Amino acid sequence: MNEKFYVTAPIYYPNADLHMGHAYTTLFCDVLARHARLQGKEAYFLVGTDEHASKVVKAAIAAGMEPQEFVNKQAEKFKTFFTEMEFTNSDFVQTSNQERHWPGAQLIWEKLVANGDIYKKKYSGLYCIGCESFKTEKDLVDGLCPDHNTKPELVEEENYFFRLSKYGNKLKEIIESGAMKIFPETRKNEILSLIADGLEDVSFSRPTKDSRWGIPVPGDPGQTMYVWCDALTNYITYLGYGRDDGLFKKFWPADLHIVGKDILRFHTAIWPAMLISAGLPVPKAVLAHGMITSGGKKMSKTIGNIIDPKEVIKEYGVEALRYLLTREVAPFEDGDLTLERIKEVYNANLANGLGNLTSRIMKMSESYLETPVDLPNYEFPAGYQEDFANYELNKAMDFIWQKIGEADLLITEKKPFSVWKTDQESARVIVIDLIKRLGEIAFLLQPFMPTTADKIVSAIKANKLSEALFLRKE
């Protein structure tokens, strides 16, 4: 049986359209899933929409639609965007799906109850609708949520609570032993110190009168599951947990949950604690990437620095966007993108770099060689594999661009076009070597820029490049 690789993206709130951050997280998963498949692994990659959030209901009301109709429409838009981005997700989660998601979410709730980890209490707290979570005074800056710049609402209600406080030691143990790895190390330390400070129990339901849109708490229709409790379970419900365990048995535990650093706590404290309580295996690893900023600031409508991925696609194409997000953004830091920089790196590295190299080599090949060059069976080189093992996609891309640079240099030094004038056989030998190098570049590009990789291989097979790859932008 093939080795399996189960990677998940977060499920996104469908209240607004997808932005660069969402494109980034999902692309990260796609590149890893493609890379795993290219090595013969059976990869499963999940993404979708997190629909039972209060802000989703608000957005539906503003759009004059029923929540269900609204989320379905948004989900279709997201799917179209994902197809355009060439994402190879295996399925698409919708948490409002009562057949596929609810049974598993309710079953895990029942397991938490059976384990004595759910209790009811009267509670008053500050709720940030942006984060969809309660905040403590120390989370706030000048009384505002630092992520959303909004004042949280004072909420007083009777809720069910999950005994997260009970799981501090157990979580510390799985993190320290590496049973659940956290990347990068700095985030792992951040979570360990959060645990050392003591974890508080989490409110896990809301009274139904305030949130009719959501999954009913089993045995108490007066309460609706808290949206994070509902959402986290998607990683197993869509594998069939609670209804048909086939995929669940095959793919769980997840090999990797990829999340932004802003939602790491939910994935490395609440989620594994729920799994332990329910007697289920914890994920093998959680990776938290940095945020995409623009001009040093978080992209926001108010600042006016939002770069819409659809606009970048329109101007430069999908493959260029995939390039930008994997090469020009370091995964574990905040990555800055501006329109000026996008144009600059597009021209330098795609139009002049890869595009130009491909057309130069293919032109010589077409004129000097009578038949196409047979490409060898390439393997992923050790350095590139090591970058993948460290999830440093930008470095794996640097590795490829180093090969592009080497091929460029070879042309400059060996001047096959001059050699051709006096010694055709030697010129052919140089060009065959260049074609094989180009074939390797295409091979290595596959997880990142699959269409470009295919175009290069097709050109080599036809011994003719039918269209230039990336045209310079002025």
Residues that bind ligand MSP (CB under 6 A): 10-13, 21-22, 24-25, 50, 231-232, 234, 259-260, 262-263, 291-292, 299
Is residue 229 annotated as part of the catalytic site, yes or no?
Answer: no
Is residue 19 annotated as part of the catalytic site, yes or no?
Answer: yes
To the nearest whole angstrom, how small is the minimum distance from the Cβ of residue 416 to ligand MSP? Answer: 44
Nearest to ligand MSP of 110, 262 (CB atom): 262
To the nearest whole angstrom, how small is the minimum distance from the Cβ of residue 369 to ligand MSP? Answer: 45
Nearest to ligand MSP of 263, 269 (CB atom): 263
Is residue 421 annotated as part of the catalytic site, yes or no?
Answer: no
Alpha helices in 374-449 (DSSP H): 382-389, 393-414, 416-422, 424-445
| Strands across the sheet containing 285-289 | 91-94, 42-49, 4-12, 256-260, 285-289, 181-183
Is residue 261 annotated as part of the catalytic site, yes or no?
Answer: no
CA distance 19 to 449: 20
Which residue is at the shortest CB distance from ligand MSP? 260
Q: What is the dihedral of CA 162, 168, 172, 175, to 10 degrees?
A: 10
To the nearest whole angstrom, how small is the minimum distance from the Cβ of residue 454 to ligand MSP? Answer: 28
To the nearest whole angstrom, how small is the minimum distance from the Cβ of residue 284 to ligand MSP? Answer: 17
- Give just the sign of the alpha carbon dihedral 80, 86, 91, 93: negative
Q: What is the dihedral of CA 65, 66, 71, 77, to 10 degrees?
A: -30
Nearest to ligand MSP of 12, 81 (CB atom): 12
To the nearest whole angstrom, how small is the minimum distance from the Cβ of residue 6 to ligand MSP? Answer: 15
Nearest to ligand MSP of 305, 356 (CB atom): 305
Nearest to ligand MSP of 11, 236 (CB atom): 11
CA distance 224 to 220: 8
To the nearest whole angstrom, how small is the minimum distance from the Cβ of residue 168 to ligand MSP? Answer: 22
Is residue 29 annotated as part of the catalytic site, yes or no?
Answer: no
Q: Which of 52, 101, 111, 145 is catalytic?
A: 145
Is residue 145 annotated as part of the catalytic site, yes or no?
Answer: yes
Q: Which of 4, 170, 298, 343 is catalytic?
A: 298
Nearest to ligand MSP of 50, 440 (CB atom): 50
Q: Which of 138, 301, 314, 421 is catalytic?
A: 301
Q: Which of 128, 229, 267, 403 is catalytic?
A: 128
Residue 175 CA, chain-centre distance (Å), reads: 22
Q: Which of 52, 101, 111, 131 is catalytic?
A: 131
Burial of 215 (0-12, 13-18, 19+ CB in 10 A): buried
Ramachandran category for residue 86: left, alpha or beta (phi over 0 → left; psi -120 to 50 → alpha)? left
Residue 47 pairs in a beta bridge with 92
Residue 437 CA, chain-centre distance (Å), reads: 30
What are the residue numbers of the active site?
19, 22, 128, 131, 145, 148, 298, 301
